[in-house]
Structure 1
Amino acid sequence: MKPAEIRDMTPEELTRALEDTRRELFNLRVQAQTGQLENSARIRLLRKDIARIMTEMTARKQNAAL
């Protein structure tokens, strides 16, 4: 997910995207433990997406507080 896409999302969409990404990361971790994971790099990408989403949510919260 690109940073520009994240900036264009509404707060509800950000929350939904965060939940979906965390769920997908959980599923990939389960696959990794059971030996079924084909693309291990996907875990890293999802972790970065989660960080981007959370960073945008925090920035919006701080801007709203000002």
Structure 2
Amino acid sequence: MTTMKASDARVMTLDQIDDEVLKLKKEQFNLRFQRATGQLENTARVRVIRRDIARLKTIASQKRAGETPVVKAEAQKSAKPVAKSRRLKASRPSPAREPARAIANKPNKTKKK
């Protein structure tokens, strides 16, 4: 079970990428049939194929658009660190995501006449 590395796909031409995507889609089709008939032994292969197809399609669209891909190491160097207070604020749940029972137990703030 080998996955296609992004660096390997980046050196391929667009025609080669399209051929590889077609080959992977055929394999995905066969795996779906094997799963439906109960003959699929390696269930993790379905996930690997799906991700390889997505990886190849992403690289192909980047090449068609003429973009230069950002390497992870370069992206991490240029990224600004996030302030601690912003990280804490983002980790707290918003009031809209409170469970229903917590909302039901809150007192009603409407005025009674």
TM-score of Structure 1 vs Structure 2, range by shorter chain? over 0.9
What is the match of residue 59 of structure 1?
62
Percent identity between the aligned chains? 41
User: TM-score, length-normalised on structure 1?
Assistant: 0.92
AA matched with 1:35: G
Cα distance in 1 for residues equivalent to 2:60 and 2:6: 12
User: TM-score, length-normalised on structure 2?
Assistant: 0.55
What is the match of residue 17 of structure 2?
14
Runs of 4+ in 1 over 3 A off after TM superposition: none
AA matched with 2:9: I
**Which structure 1 residue ranges, 5 or more long, are not aligned?**
none
What is the number of residues matched between the two proteins? Answer: 64
1:49 and 2:52 correspond: yes
Cα RMSD of the aligned pairs, angstroms, is 1.0
What is the match of residue 40 of structure 1?
43
Q: Which has the larger radius of gyration?
A: 2
**Which structure 2 residue ranges, 5 or more long, are not aligned?**
68-113
Task: Compute the displacement of 1:6 (Å).
Answer: 0.5
